[in-house]
Amino acid sequence: MKRNQLLITLILIFSFTIAVSAQDKEKKKPVYGWKNEATGILNFTQNQFDNWAGGGEDAWSWQMDINAKFANDQEKYNWTTTGKISYGKTKVGDATAKKAADEIKLESVFTYKMNLYINPYVAATALTQFTDGYAYSDAGKVKISTFMDPGYFTQSAGVGYKPNDIIKTRLGAALKETVTDKFSDTFADGKKMRVEFGAESVTDLKVQVSKNILYTSKLELFSNLKGIDEIDTNWDNLFSSKISDLITVSFNFKLMYDKDVSYKRQLKQTLAIGLSYSLL
């Protein structure tokens, strides 16, 4: 009798374990379909002085950023398209207002899932700006760039590696086109379109530093295989902290290197507080 009771108890425990395990599997079952998100951020700062003994000049600056992501995740493939729009101006004293940010960037990546950490992909990116860009000196200003002058387009195919939700990277063969018009001498060695074949590497990092602080980083490298000093670099880093549902503090650090544009690396950093709103 006791043996039967023990057997029944073991069967009940085993059945309960299987049921709980099945529920856990159901909970962990991936959800396929479209996942879309878009966020708009507006930053504005102003300084104004009136009979201020310490001196100073009136100044203001503003910047708007829109980031969007559209991902179609299925069992056998993932197609993700991201877009970034950034524009802003700054003005100090009686000087003319100048651009502080100007960027249009699109990226689309199609990944075929082989149920491995390493999966094949094809990708395409586009980069340009909205308005004219100027170089300023004591002699005045000189226009040095404009919309689609230059414009950068890259197509690549290779393999991607995504071990977790924190980091993902991809490496592949790539074609890079630089489209220009009036400023071809600066950006494309005098050509209206310069085409380069080489290798591209793109690494995305997303780390939740603390409950309210998020660090995101994107490192893009392109080599035309002619030398280590020919590697084009675009490294974009952002620390963002959510103060409330609408207020965000952010620090952006960006490093760029392109020997065809400048023999020196280019740096840009922005510390801002502003309004953040989820559009989708």
> How far is 134 from 140, CA to CA, in rounded Å?
10
CATH topology of domain 33-278: Outer membrane phospholipase (ompla); Chain C (2.40.230)
Asked whether the predicted pLDDT for residue 1 surpasses 80, the reply is no
Whole-angstrom distance, CA of residue 218 vs CA of residue 261: 21
Q: What is the DSSP letter of 149?
A: B
Peptide linkage before 30 cis (omega within 30 of 0): no
pLDDT in the model for residue 16:
52
Q: What is the mean pLDDT of residues 62-69?
A: 94
pTM of the model: 0.82
Q: What is the pLDDT of residues 73-104, one digit of tens each?
A: 999 999 999 999 999 999 998 888 999 999 99
Residue 17 CB coordination number (10 Å)? 10
Single-letter code of the amino acid located at 142: V
pLDDT tens-digit readout, 233-274: 999 999 999 888 888 899 999 999 998 888 889 999 888 888
Q: How far is CA 156 from CA 60, 78, 272, in A?
A: 41, 16, 34
Question: Could you give the count of Cα atoms lying within 13 Å of 79 in the half-sphere of its Cβ?
Answer: 3
Give the residue among 98, 86, 95 at the shortest CA–CA distance from 61.
98
pLDDT at residue number 3: 45
Cβ-count burial of 23 within 10 angstroms (0-12 exposed, 13-18 middle, 19+ buried)?
Answer: exposed
Tens-digit pLDDT profile for residues 169-190: 999 999 999 999 999 998 988 8
Q: How confident is the model at residue 150 (pLDDT cuts 50, 70, 90)?
A: very high
Which residues share a beta bridge with 170? 160, 202
Query: Does residue 129 surpass a pLDDT of 90?
Result: yes
- The tokens for 81 are 């398209």
pLDDT at 260: 82
pLDDT in tens, 195-215: 999 999 999 999 999 888 999
Provide mean pLDDT across the span 220-225.
94
